[in-house]
Amino acid sequence: MLLNLDTESNKKLAVWGIAIVCLGSIGLRFWGLGRFNVFVFDEFYYAKFANNYLTNTKFFNSHPPLSQYLIAIGIWIGDRLPIGQDTTNTLTGSLHSTFSYRWMNALFGSFIPPIVAALAYQLSYRMSYAFLAALFISLDGLFLIESRYALNNIYLVFFGLLGQLLVVIASKTTQDRRLLLVGAGISFGASAACKWNGLWFLLGIYALLVIAKLWQIIRSERQSSIITNSILDRFATIGIIEIVICLVVTPIAIYSLLWIPHLIQNPTPNFIDVQLWILNYHEKVGNGAKIHPYCANWYTWPLLMRPLAYYFKQYKPDYYYDVHAMGNPLLWWFALVAIFGSIWLIIKGFTVKPIRELNIDRLNVPLFIVVNYAANLLPWVKVTRCLYIYHYMGAVLFAIMGLAWLVDLGLRSSSKFWQAAGLTTIFSIAASFVFWLPIYLGLSIEKSDLALRLWNFWIFNWI
């Protein structure tokens, strides 16, 4: 073992590490938010729609309204702050600072690493794993970019992830369980009220609950009397009535209630019709380069085959500002390997014979990771409309957590090889993040340096 990671002193060190990671994430998300005094990518829609709520302007949106409510709140507060007023424009239809319609995204994006750390700890009780999970998600470029502009994906991830954390905590206790589950239902409803694919986080929980009930059935009577820390055993204690009320009725109710402000301002179409309009809109969106030059099929996302340009401007000969929505390449590729590694661990675990000898506790993390990765990726397989790399955010989040788990196992190993592999993975991911940071933050970059960072474009002959 590289070091005794379970001592009290090292647990405190991990806590400090998580705090530093979170502070660093906050700094990167809030730094220079006022840069680019123009709309970046879909700010053209979301910042405008948010301002429409403030000016009582009627409009139709192809997504549910919660993220625009939050951006609108950010605009209202931001216009009254003594900071961030150096760059203003009227692109939304009113005079606002760029900071005002971006800072709420930065705030919610800053919460992602600590929530990931909390979820990792609740699954494993390992502070070292919690630290690595927070570190890795903070070193991802796509999550950083989505946190710096008035877009809606970071909100659905925040609420979906929070809902999952509350369910995991609720499964461990009978005290306040229903309150925690109601909170989870509210979060899942809020995630869907940002975008419908926020429901994939709830789908992952449903899948785990079904697996847990099946696991409870196939266990022997002798085993059923054994109390374990298995996530399956814990999820199996959640009752059907609790599931229906807290994780079915509550999300539906919250999703519906969150439409009320929009419908008061935009009474036509009504609640049912607007859902049908949204569905019809997305069904009519085609696919391919003729529809949008950055359409990317689901199977291209893990390999970063089609990153998405959010902003591009040449400001002097051979120098550019470029913001490219792409993940940290080494992080994403290693994370994909980690998914296959987690699947292998699960298969190896469940092929133990007899099954009563299986130590299911050891499969908590890989099982949770693989089920939620599949729940956030597989629904896209049948979608025929144009998709983009940011639709992978929900799935890659769990792949990154899976990578953190395997690296933690390596650091805890007695093998020098696996310890070295773990450390090499950490430092290479950090170096990869620094290398691609200029196109995450939109820093000034010379043409040859930009081409070096967008090598995958040249390989696939897409520009």
- Answer whether 327's CB lies under 8 Å from 453's CB: no
Q: Count CA within 13 A, CB hemisphere, residue 244.
A: 3
pLDDT value, residue 463: 38
pLDDT above 90 covers what percent of the chain?
81
Sequence ranges of the domains in the chain: 8-459
pLDDT value, residue 454: 86
pLDDT tens track for 233-242: 899 999 999 9
pLDDT tens track for 103-127: 999 999 999 999 999 999 999 999 9
Q: Phi and psi dihedrals of 358, rounded to 5?
A: -70, 130
Question: What's the rounded Cα separation, in Å, for the pair 215 and 296?
Answer: 37
Nearest to 410 by CA among 397, 400, 423: 423
- Answer whether 371's CB lies under 8 Å from 211's CB: yes
pLDDT tens track for 293-348: 899 999 999 999 989 999 999 999 989 999 999 999 999 999 999 999 999 988 88
- pLDDT average, residue stretch 133-162: 98
**Residue 462 confidence class, pLDDT cut points 50, 70, 90:** very low
Question: What's the rounded Cα separation, in Å, for the pair 47 and 96?
Answer: 10
Kindly compute the dihedral angle of the four CA atoms of residues 126, 329, 45, 99, in this order, to the nearest 10 degrees. Answer: 70
pLDDT value, residue 109: 98
Using the CB atoms, write b or e for 68-106: b if 16+ within 10 Å. Answer: bbbbbebbeebbeeeebeeebeebbeeebbbbbbbbbbb
